[in-house]
Amino acid sequence: MPKGGSRPGAGRMQTRYTISTAAAKKLQAIAKHHNSNPAQTIEGLINSYHNSIKAEPMQDDIAQLLSLLTPEPQTVASLSKRLRMRKAELERLIAAHQEKLIENGLHLHTATASETEKAIKLPSPLNPTEHTYYSKLSRNLFSL
C-alpha cells in the first residue's frame, strides 16, 4: 500500500450526536408522517429553522447566542467566553428575552448544587418570584 497523503476525513473532528428515546420517537413519528427517513427529516427541520431565523430579524446578541447553541449542552462559562460577555450580561440577555429564545430552540439545563456558583439565575417558569439556577444551555431541535 503506498504511503503518503491523508485519508478522507483526516484532521476533522468527528462529532456524534445522541438524542433521548423520547426525541427519537418524535423524530420517527414526524418522518413517518412525511414519508421520509429520519436523516432527511432532521435536515429539513434544521433548514426550516435556519430559514425562520433569517426571516425574523432579531437582536444581534440573541441571534449570536442561538447560532452558538448545539444539541449538546454547553456550560454558561464557555458560552459567555465565546460571546465575549460576562456571566451577568448573559444572564440579563436571557432573562430579558427568555420566551423568545425558548421559542427559537434554547433549552436551559438546571444546575446541580455543586454547579450553582458558575450558573446563571433566572426567574422560575412556574413562580417568577422564585429563581432557578441553570448551568448549561443547548439547542432543542424539536422546538419548531
120: enclosing H helix or E strand: strand 120-123
Looking at the whole model, is its pTM more than 0.75? no
Which pLDDT score is estimated for 57?
Answer: 44
Which pLDDT score is estimated for 113?
Answer: 92
Contact 105, 140 (CB under 8 A): yes
Cα angle: 140, vertex 80, 127; to 5 degrees: 60
Give the chain's residues under pLDDT 50: 55-58
